[in-house]
Chains A and B, each alone.
Chain A
Amino acid sequence: MAFAPMGPEASFFAVVDQHRASLLAALRSGGGEPAGGGVRPASSSEVLASIENIIQDIITSLARNEAPAFTIDNRSSWENIKFEDSVGLQMVSHCTTRKIRSDSPKSVKNFALILKILSMIYKLVQSNTYATKRDIYYTDSQLFGNQTVVDNIINDVSCMLKVPRRSLHILSTSKGLIAGNLRYIEEDGTKVHCTCATAVAVPSNIQGIWNLITDAKFLLIVEKDATFQRLLDDNFCSKMSPCIMVTGKGVPDLNTRLLVKKLWDALHVPIFSLVDADPHGIEIMCIYKYGSMSMSFEAHNLTVPAIRWLGLLPSDIKRLNIPKDTLIPLTKRDQMKLDSILKRPYVTCQPFWRKEMEIMADSKMKAEIQALTFLSSDYLSRVYLPNKLKFGGWI
C-alpha cells in the first residue's frame, strides 16, 4: 500500500508469516473455520414476524385466562455452555430456560420491560431506523432504572428471537479504537483511512463496513487504552509496519469484538493480544478469543479462536528479571478469578496458557504491562514486542 510507512525488513516477519500460513492451512482443512449456527442475521420482515408471534402467544394466554410468560434461555449458567475449539463458548442446543412470568412479583417488571423493548424494536425495524442501547434507556430512564437493565433485556430479546442485535436495529456505542494499516468504507459511504499516528473510533455499524484494504502482517489487540496510546506515541505501528492495533479499552464492547472478528474473517492475518499479566487481563483476552458466557448465543459472530497470547506472560516476569517491587500481590478476588478461569472448558486445550496461569498462581503475583518500563521507558515498543513478534513469542 502506498500509504504504508517503512517497517522492518521482510525477514523480520518470517515467523509471523509462518504462523499465518499455518492458520490458513488450518482454515483450508476445515479445522479452524466455525461451522456456523447460533444466531444469524435476519431480515426486517422476519424480525417483525417473530415479534408478532410472541404477542400472539401472549394474547392467546390472556384469552385462556392464563398468565403469559416469556421463556428465555438461561444465559448465565455454565451448564448451558459448550466449548468448541473452532468457535469458542457457545450455547448448547437444549439449554435450560427461565420463565419470566407476568403474575410473579419477582418478574412482572421484567416481563413488562421486555414487552416495552419489543415494541420499541418493532417500531425501529418497521421504520428502518436504528437506536443505541443508550437511546432506548433514555426513552424512559425512570422506568428502566439503569442502563444495565436495558442491556440485559436486549441480550435476552436477541437470544429469544435468535437474531443478532444489529437485526433488532439496536446499536451499541463503540468505545474501542483502531489504528495502523487499514482502510475501509462505512455503510453510508464514508471512507475511513486509519493511520499509524492517530486512532479512529471503532464504527458502530460493523456489518455495514466494506472494502477493507490492508497490508497488515498482524493485528495487535491491546487491553488498555493507556498502553495503546503509549504504543502510538512510540510510533510502534510505523516501526512494526504494516500492522493494525485495536483496543477495546478494557472489557471490549460488542462493536470492537465484531470488528476484530470481521478483520479476521476478511484478512486472516495473525491476531495477537497484549494484556496485563493478571487474571483480569486473561479474562479480557478470553472474551476476544472464546467469547463470554452471557453472549455465548452469538459466539459465531464474535469469537476469534485464532487469537494468540503475546504478552505479558507470567513467565516473562522471571525471564526478564522484572524487579519484584514492581509486581503486585494477587488479591483474594484475583485468586478466585484465576481459579475460575482455570476451570473453564477452553483451558484444557491450551496447556501453555494453563502453565502460565499456574506460574501466576504459584508466585501469587501479578504484573501490569507498565512493569516493563522499569527496564526501560520504551522497552515495550522497542524491545519486548519486536522480539516477541520476530521470534514467535506467543502461545
Chain B
Amino acid sequence: MRRRGRRWAGLACAQAGREGVARLGVGAGGSRSPVGRRESRRCWCSPRGMEGTAVAVCEVDEKPTILMTDSLVIKNFLRKIVMVHPKLSFSLLCRAENEPTLNLLNGIALVVNYQHYVSRPEFGTSELFCSRIHPVLGHPIMLFIPDDVAEMGLSRELILTPAAALCPCPKVFSNQLNRISSISIFLYGPSCLPLISPSQEQPTTTVFKDTFHFIDWKKYHLCVVPNLDLNLDRDLVFPDVSYQVESSEEDKSQNMDPQGQTLLLFLFVDFHSGFPVQQMELWGVHTLLTTHLSAILMESHSMVQDSIEVAVDQALEQHHQAAKAHQKLQTSLSVAANSIMSIVTGSTSSSFRKICFQALQAADTQEFGNKLHKSFREITQHRFLHHCSCEVKQLLPEKNDAEQSTEDAHENSNLELLAGISKQVKNKRLRRGSLRQGVEDKQAFHSARAPSPSEAAPRPAEPTAASLTPSRAGPGRDLEDALWLQEVSNLSEWLSSDPGP
C-alpha cells in the first residue's frame, strides 16, 4: 500500500490449473463521477507474473465519496473478468466459480448464469425464465488496423468475435409478449481482459455513442437511445455501453411485460495469429486497444456490422418467432370476437341477443363488445404459445428421475403442444441452431486462443449456428435432436399462414 494522495490496494487472485494472466494491475483515477466518467479509470495488467497467481493492484483516492465510487469501478472491472475467466477467484469481491459456462468456439468460457447480467425478474415470474443465457456467435472477422495505430506498435492481426444473447431467456412464451428493454455491450480484449479506457479524452466506446453505427435497430423494430441512467452499485456485470429501448405506443397498449429483456452483446477482440504471445506484447496491445478500439472498429466498419448482425439476428430469432405468434393470436382472437359481434348485433332475434348480453352481463352492445374481447384475452392469458428451445433441453433424460418428474409436472400443459407435432418432425432435418448447444458445467479455464485462419478470415455473412462448441454428446443426442426438431417444427407451425383444415 502506497500513499500519494491515493491508495494502492493489492488483491490476490488465484488461478488454478493453468497459466494465464500473471498479474493484474487495476487502477482507478481521474474522474470522480460515479457513472458518466467511469471509463476514465485505468485498468491494466502487469506483464510481470508468476504461474497460477495474479495480483491486482488498485489505485484509489482516499476521499470517502471517491473511494466508494472507485471501489465500485474496481468491483465491476473484476466482475467483468470473472465472467470470462470463471476459474479466477477474487477473494475480495468477485467469484464466478462453480458457475455454469458455455465454451464458445474461440475458446472463451462465458458464464451463462443470467443473474450476473440482469436483475432478477419480478417476484412470481422467475420460474418463467431459463436460468441461463444462450449466446450465439457471429463470424470472427479480421480487423483492419489503421496506419496510425499500427505505427504505435500494433503489428499483429486482430480478430473480432461477437456473441449475442437475450437475457433473461423465457422458458415459454405466453400471450404476454416480452419486450426488449435494453441493450448491454461488453468489450473484451486479448486474454479476455475487459477493455476499459484509461482516460476520459479517449474513451474506448466513442464509436458506440451513435446507437446505429453497427446495428440497424430499425430492422428489429427497436427504438434505441443511449442509456444515461446507469447504476454502478448493483451486483451485476457493468456493461461498457448501454442502450435503452423506448417503448412504442403499441407496446404500451398491448399486453407487454414491463420489465423486459436485455440484449447482451459481447465483443471479443483477440490476436489472429496462432503464435504464442508474450505477456509484454499482450499488455501493450491491450493498452492500445483501450484507447484505439473505436478507430480499429471503424476501419472495418461493414465487416463488423455484418458479423454483429448475424449474432444479433440469431439471438433475436426466437424473440421474433414469439412476437409473430403473439401477433397471430391477437389477430385471431380479434377476428373471432368481431365475427361474434357481427352475428349478435345483426340478429333479429331479441331472445338470442338477450341471452348473449345476459351471459356476459352486458347492458348494451358496446359493453358486450368490450367484454367479449376481454373474455377472449383472459382465457388465453396463461396459455403458452411455445417453448424456448433451452426448455426442451431440460426435458432430456439425463436428469435424475426426481427432477424429470418435476419438470413433467410443470410442463404438462406445454407438452401437448409438442405431442401433436411429433409425427411431423420425424423426417424433418432442419439445421440445428446454436441455441440447442448444451451448457458446460465443468469449470475449465479457456484462454483466448487464436482461431485457425479459416475461422478468422473475413467472409460474407452467413448463419453461424454451429459456432458454439458442442458440449453434449452421447446416447442422449438422438433424443435431443428429436426434441429440437419438434421445437423447430412448433415454431414453423406458428409461422405458417395456412392454418389447415
How far is B501's CA from A76's CA once the two chains are assembled, in angstroms? Answer: 10
How far is B339's CA from A111's CA once the two chains are assembled, in angstroms? Answer: 11
Give the interface segment out of A50-58, A195-203, A262-270: A50-58
Instruction: Note all chain B residues with C-beta closer than 8 A to A113.
Output: 335, 499
How far is B501's CA from A113's CA once the two chains are assembled, in angstroms? Answer: 10
List residues of B (123-141) whose CB comes within 8 Å of A's CBs.
Answer: none
* Most chain A CB inside 10 Å of its own CB: which residue of B325, B372, B385, B498: B498
Instruction: Note all chain B residues with C-beta closer than 8 A to A143.
Output: 331, 335
Contact between A116 and B499 (Cβ–Cβ < 8 Å)? no
Instruction: Note all chain A residues with C-beta closer than 8 A to B499.
Output: 107, 109-110, 113, 145, 149
Smallest Cβ distance from B301 to chain A, in angstroms?
39
Contact between B417 and A106 (Cβ–Cβ < 8 Å)? yes
Instruction: Note all chain B residues with C-beta closer than 8 A to A51.
Output: 343
Instruction: Note all chain B residues with C-beta closer than 8 A to A56.
Output: 352, 355-356, 359
Instruction: Note all chain A residues with C-beta closer than 8 A to B497.
Output: 145-146
How far is B494's CA from A217's CA once the two chains are assembled, in angstroms? Answer: 56
Contact between B379 and A62 (Cβ–Cβ < 8 Å)? yes
Instruction: Note all chain A residues with C-beta closer than 8 A to B471.
Output: none
How far is B336's CA from A102's CA once the two chains are assembled, in angstroms? Answer: 9
Smallest Cβ distance from B299 to chain A, in angstroms?
46
Contact between A62 and B376 (Cβ–Cβ < 8 Å)? yes
Chain A: interface secondary structure? helix
Chain B: interface secondary structure? helix
A119: interface (CB < 8 Å):
yes
Residues A156 and B501 in contact in the complex (CB < 8 Å), given A52-B352, A63-B360, A102-B379: yes
Instruction: Across the interface, name the chain B residue whose C-beta is closest to A121.
Output: B343
B459: interface (CB < 8 Å):
no
Residues A112 and B356 in contact in the complex (CB < 8 Å), given A52-B349, A62-B376, A106-B493: no
Instruction: Note all chain B residues with C-beta closer than 8 A to A108.
Output: 328-329, 332-333, 380
B500: interface (CB < 8 Å):
yes
How far is B493's CA from A104's CA once the two chains are assembled, in angstroms? Answer: 12
Instruction: Note all chain B residues with C-beta closer than 8 A to A119.
Output: 339-340, 342-343, 346
B255: interface (CB < 8 Å):
no
Contact between B356 and A59 (Cβ–Cβ < 8 Å)? yes
B156: interface (CB < 8 Å):
no
Give the B-binding residues of A (Cβ under 8 A). 48, 51-52, 55-56, 58-60, 62-63, 65-68, 76, 102-113, 115-116, 118-119, 122-123, 126, 143, 145-146, 148-149, 152-153, 155-156
The 4 closest A-B pairs by CB, nearest first: A152-B501, A115-B339, A112-B332, A109-B499
The 26 listed contacts between A and B (C-beta, < 8 Å) are A48-B347, A52-B349, A52-B352, A55-B356, A59-B360, A62-B359, A62-B360, A62-B379, A63-B360, A65-B375, A66-B379, A102-B333, A102-B336, A102-B376, A108-B332, A109-B328, A112-B332, A112-B334, A112-B339, A115-B339, A115-B340, A119-B342, A122-B343, A123-B342, A145-B499, A156-B501
